Structure 1
Amino acid sequence: MKKYLVLSLLYALLAIHAVAGVYEDILHAAEQNETEQVIDLLRRGMDVNTTDAQGNTLLMIAARENNLELVRFLLDNRANLNRRNRYGDTALMLATLRGHEAVARLLLDRKADPNTPGWTALHYAAFENRPQIAALLLAAGAQVNAIAPNGSTALMLAAKRGHLEMVRLLVGAGAEVNEIDRDEGTALDMARKANHAEIVDFLRRAGAR
């Protein structure tokens, strides 16, 4: 009986080790854009929503790494479109942060939610100056006046960082120019403090006080 239990335990440990190895393989393959290997492992039974230690799913990794082919395959195989990692990011947010327009477009076409609680993809687009992606997000219903956890709107972020084209886009989409952050004031205040003269002039003409 004791020998049987020892053998059973050994087989269980070997099985766990094998699963852990495959788990590491698929995450590594996704990070390295080894699309065929990821697809092969998924077809052999790996979960399409496998995550790494930070909660990044295969879809998030593919979106972050600009792997449009893998993103499409994962979506076609029912990957969780709006799942969030430990930091609150979705695949759409990561694609936006990195400036991967085609990936962002595909995710939005598949009905990715642009209005996540807290930070949103539009905040990321404004911060990193991604006007083309911001336009896609707004067309998909992104809330232009959403307030981030730090109290900023997308307009404030764009104004503070000197992104004039983004400021124009957001104001044209209905951004509230006189929204106030308790610590830093309005978008106009932020642009003035950062010496972004063109943005200051534009916001004043748009009715900022």
Structure 2
Amino acid sequence: MRMIVVLLVLVGVAPGCDRIKKSTPLIDAVRAKDSAKVAALLKEGANVNATVRDGTTPLIAAAATCQWPLIKTLVEKGAKVDVYDASKTSPLMYAVYHCSSTAKIPLAYTVVRYLIEKGAQKGDLQKTGFSPAMQVCLGGREAFHPEAMRYYLETGLTRADAAIKSGTPLHCAASRGLVAYATLLLKHGAKIDARDTKGQTALHLASDRGHVRLVRFLLSKGADPKLTDKQGRAPYYYASALDVRIALLQHGVDPSSPHRLGAKPPDACKAAKTKDAQRTCLIKAFEAKLRGTPPAPSPSTK
């Protein structure tokens, strides 16, 4: 028996631990979201930090299913917040993964802030490359939670310019037209001309999606409309919406720049002799088209 105990200690299993089991009654109750059973087991003296074969603890199980009341109960009963399962995932990491659906952004903020206040290591998320800022963005406008975003950014829980496979949080904001979100990111150090794996900037994505308010915002903050992606294409190439094309032209884009529609300049603009004249004519033509009125002929300019 003594030899068995020694072997368990050597592999990291303390006496009284349940690591050799697949689960425990307390973990089962947490997974079943049975708060009454959890309370009863804790009252009977169940080990709040019991660790089973895959490294799961009751708190990890609660965080993985985003159960805020149980998370709080377990921590108050002494559950350790800095624990990791076999996949090296902590309760904090699970909380961000599983509490950040569109409807749960405020809940994620509550859980994450609580765990950090109780001693969870913020660096866990930075190691994974997972970004709470990106997760909030993926929820779209209805999920935007300024207070949560400010907390994530100001505490260093996530970086405004943190890049993952799909780009930076600013790319996400651009693709969804989230001006308020982009404003916060830039205020906290996001790089306005950062590129994704395709070499595209946030301006490329906003132009492609037709988000004119965000296009104008990015341009006003210094986004370069002449930068090209890995295919040699500038944002103007992707801009189908006339108001987006107007905004780009107003910021100095070459009126003869390639466009994916292969659009030729209106007849009224063919007489324009200079780039500036062509640009002015195109802007007027597009504005007239938006209003539904034919453009007036443009005089030739030398």
TM-score by length of 1: 0.78
Equivalent-residue separation in structure 2 for 1:52 and 1:166 (angstroms): 43
Q: Select between 93-102 and 156-165 the one with higher mean Cα deviation.
A: 93-102
Equivalent-residue separation in structure 2 for 1:52 and 1:172 (angstroms): 48
Structure 1 residue 170 corresponds to structure 2 residue 218: yes
Pair 147,132 (structure 1): closer, same or farther in 2 beyond 3 Å: same
Equivalent-residue separation in structure 2 for 1:201 and 1:59 (angstroms): 44
Counterpart in the other structure of 2:207: 159
Asked which structure has the greater CA Rg, the reply is: 2
Q: Which has the higher helix share?
A: 1
Paired residues of 1:144 and 1:154 also in contact (CA < 8 A): yes
Counterpart in the other structure of 1:94: 135
Query: Please, which runs of 5 or more residues in structure 1 have no aligned partner?
Result: none
Structure 1 residue 39 corresponds to structure 2 residue 72: yes
Moved over 6 A (4+): none
**Between Structure 1 and Structure 2, how many residues are aligned?**
204
Equivalent-residue separation in structure 2 for 1:169 and 1:143 (angstroms): 14
Equivalent-residue separation in structure 2 for 1:85 and 1:94 (angstroms): 16
Percent of aligned positions that are identical: 22
Paired residues of 2:55 and 2:85 also in contact (CA < 8 A): no
Counterpart in the other structure of 1:206: 251
Counterpart in the other structure of 1:197: 242
Equivalent-residue separation in structure 2 for 1:206 and 1:54 (angstroms): 49
Equivalent-residue separation in structure 1 for 2:122 and 2:20 (angstroms): 25
Counterpart in the other structure of 2:185: 137
Superposed displacement of residue 129, structure 1: 2.2
Pair 15,28 (structure 1): closer, same or farther in 2 beyond 3 Å: closer
Q: Which amino acid aligns with 2:69?
A: E
Pair 79,54 (structure 1): closer, same or farther in 2 beyond 3 Å: closer
Structure 1 residue 115 corresponds to structure 2 residue 149: no
Per-residue CA shift, 1:1-31, capped at 9, x if unaligned? 6x9749x77x789434351388275445335
Per-residue CA shift, 1:77-108, capped at 9, x if unaligned? 3431572476x432222122224323212212
Paired residues of 1:59 and 1:91 also in contact (CA < 8 A): no
Pair 162,48 (structure 1): closer, same or farther in 2 beyond 3 Å: farther
Equivalent-residue separation in structure 2 for 1:159 and 1:138 (angstroms): 18
Superposed displacement of residue 32, structure 1: 4.3
Paired residues of 1:145 and 1:175 also in contact (CA < 8 A): yes
3-state secondary structure, aligned to 2:170: helix
Name which structure has the greater RCO, CA cutoff 8 Å, separation 6+.
Answer: 1
Equivalent-residue separation in structure 2 for 1:178 and 1:49 (angstroms): 49
Superposed displacement of residue 48, structure 1: 3.9
Structure 1 residue 74 corresponds to structure 2 residue 78: no
Counterpart in the other structure of 1:58: 94
Superposed displacement of residue 153, structure 1: 0.6
Paired residues of 1:114 and 1:140 also in contact (CA < 8 A): yes
Q: Which amino acid aligns with 2:206?
A: A
Pair 36,128 (structure 1): closer, same or farther in 2 beyond 3 Å: same
Q: Which amino acid aligns with 1:45?
A: A
Per-residue CA shift, 1:144-196, capped at 9, x if unaligned? 011112211111111111111111111111111111012260111011xxx22
Query: Please, which runs of 5 or more residues in structure 2 have no aligned partner?
Result: 9-14, 25-50, 255-302
Paired residues of 1:167 and 1:199 also in contact (CA < 8 A): yes
